[in-house]
Each structure stands twice: as structure tokens, then as C-alpha cells.
Amino acid sequence: MDLLKVTIDGIEIEVPAGTTILEAARKIGKNVPPAMCYYSKLEGSGGKCRTCIVKVSQGSTKDPRPMPKPVASCRTQVMDGMVVLNETSPEIMEARASVVEFLLINHPLDCPICDQAGECHLQDLGYAHGKQKTRYEFKRRTFDKIDIGPYVQLHMTRCILCYRCVFTCDQITNDRVHGVLNRGDSAEISTYIEKSIENDFSGNVIDVCPVGALTDKTFRFKNRVWFTKPVNAHRNCTTDKCSGKVQLWYKGNEVIRVTARKDQWGEVEEFICNTCRFEKKETTDWVIEGPAKVDNKSVIGQNHYELSYDKPVVPPKISLFADHPSFKDDSKFIN
């Protein structure tokens, strides 16, 4: 296959035709534009949140003209000889900061009571690009609350309308009952008439949600995520298309949450069924593989593990599975 050369923030890489700028940046692994709506596993996603915008200062070797406006790196394919400016462009950093400002003006900033806090991409984005003071003086937007069933909690005020949950239900499940309703700044995720989002794979909307708009009702207010410990586990799941590969989130000896495993970009590796997610909350339901890898920038990784993407793997230190063959040294672990 033909490889195309692209330069992003001065770093050159060769990628196959059809690769987007964002995917090329992820391959480089440095100066990766943040993505709030794009999701590599969901067809048609991306382009909406505008946080990943970059400047194309040279379109290609053949046509070196710059692109007139910033482009969404998640939806713009690389051309041979393309030159892209991301963090090295002050205009892009300013534009990104303004996108973050727009995303936050109507956000409730209720992180202290939000279950997503600690693993929220909007929180990370705000921390990286946000301003210390809001310029927005008006009443923040609210929505009528709707109940979407026993498993998923919808907090519409936190939603950034990334559409990931809509794509998920269209592409992973066979029965979408929710969508984006109304328009403009009244647009909202809803079922319109109160309906449960319930089918074998509906729980995945929780994992794809970049913010705290869709959270796990069975985990609600159980614990702050940074006090829990993620462990990789699997079971022989009989649900068609479910991998049965999960992360168990422990508080003491108790499994308080089950999620799919996520990769270093925060994307689900393999989607899981609702039985695995909501009904298997005993350690005995699972074959434990060992502690989950956690990004060393994540608050979740700060206290518990030396294991992370950026550090060499060392033996994990967890008291919980003292009898598990993969855990030997538990002496320093304080629960």
C-alpha cells in the first residue's frame, strides 16, 4: 500500500492512504489533538466538537496551498506532503481554548458530585485548555429530567452532544430508542417519550460518553473513581458478540462497577453486554487477569499502581488477590 508522508508539529510520519490527521498524530504519540466526539470504533463519528481542529499549512506536495480554515483533524485525511500545525500554532491553541470555553459555558461544573469526575475527558480538556475565569454571566441551560431505565443515568446538562451514544446504539445494538432531539442549544439526548434504553448492549453508551451525561446507575454515588481499583478480568459470556473481557472496579473486596476495557485514547477495546456489566458483580463471576493499565496522567493511577503505559511493567501490589498467582507482593498496598 502507498504510504503518505505527513508532518505534524515538525514530526514526520508515513501513514497509509485514508489515515486521518488525528490517527497519524496518535501513531506519532506526541502532540495528539484531543478528541471529544470522534471514536475510531464508531462509523461517522467526529467532526462535531471541534476540539481536535488543526491548521493545515501545506495541503500536499502537489497542491501546497494552506487550507483556509482550521480543519477537524479527526475527519480530514492525510495527503502526501501535508504539513499540519497543532500545538505549535498559537492560533490553533487559541481556537481550541475558545472551543473549550464554548463547551463549558452551559456546563453545570458539578464535578464534585459527578460520577464521571476523575475519568472525564471534559475535565481533562478544561484543565489543559480552559481559562480560570468564565466570561459567561447568564443562566446556564437546564433540561427536563427523563428516566431512561434502571441501568443508565442521563444528566443532560453535562452532555456535549458528541453523538457517540447515538452511533453506538445504531451500530452496536439493533434497537435505537434514543437520539438527538430539538435543535440548536436546545438539542438534547432523549427518548422523547420516556423509554428505557434497554437491550443487550445498551450499557456501552456509558463507556463511550466522554462526560458524565450517561453514567452507570448501579455505580451511582458508590465511590469516587480514584478510590477504586481497576482489574482486568474475563468470563465465558454466552451473549452473542460479547467478548466477556472487562475491567472490574473494586472498592475493598467489593466489585462496584464493571466496564469495558479502554485503550490509551480512552476508547473501548471491545464492547460488552449488559449481563457482564450490570449483573456480574461478584469476584467469583470472573477469571481475574491482573491490574488494569492506567494512564500515568490519570488520577486513578496516582495512588495505586506503578503500572502504566509510560512506565515499565513491575509486579502489581494489590492485597485483594493475595491468593491469585499473579499477585505476590501485597505488603505496601493500603486499601
The residues of the shown chain that bind other proteins, judged by CB under 8 A, are 46-51, 53, 69-70, 72, 75, 77, 95, 98-99, 101-103, 105-106, 135-136, 138, 160-161, 175-187, 191-193
Task: Give the shortest CB-267-to-other proteins separation in angstroms.
Answer: 19
Q: Minimal distance in Å, beta carbon 54 to other proteins?
A: 12
Decide whether 201 or 321 has the Cβ nearer to other proteins. 201
334 Ramachandran zone, left/alpha/beta (phi>0; psi -120 to 50): beta
Of 258, 248, 223, nearest in space to 321 by CA: 248
DSSP secondary structure, 42-57, as one string: STT--SSS-TTEEEEE
Q: How far, in Å, CA of 292 to CA of 71, rounded?
A: 35
What is the rounded (10 degree) CA torsion for 87, 90, 96, 101? 140
**Least distance in Å: CB of 211 to other proteins?**
12
CB closer to other proteins out of 160 and 255: 160
* Nearest to 14, CA basis, from 4, 27, 22: 4
Closest to other proteins by CB, 155 vs 257, is 155
Comparing CB distances to other proteins, the nearer of 17 and 287 is 17
> Which C-beta is closer to other proteins: that of 50 or that of 317?
50
Residue 102 or 309: which CB sits closer to other proteins? 102
Residue closer to other proteins by CB (options 177, 233) is 177
- Side chain identity at residue 35, one-letter code: A
- Residues contacting 97, CB < 8 A, separation 6+: 129, 130, 131
In the complex, the smallest distance separating the C-beta of residue 83 from other proteins, rounded to whole angstroms, is: 19
d(CA 134, CA 255): 39
Q: How far is the CB of 124 from other proteins (least distance, A)?
A: 16
Q: Which residues 6+ apart lie within 8 Å of 211 measured at CB? A: 116, 120, 121, 122, 158, 159, 160
Task: Give the chain's length.
Answer: 335
d(CA 288, CA 320): 11
Closest approach of other proteins to the CB of residue 35, in Å: 13
CB of residue 138 vs other proteins: minimum separation in angstroms? 5
How many CB atoms within 10 Å of residue 30? 11
Dist. CA 125–CA 100, nearest whole Å: 7
CB of 37 to other proteins, least distance (A): 9
Chain-centroid distance of CA 212 in Å reads 11
Query: Residue 163 or 286: which CB sits closer to other proteins?
Result: 163
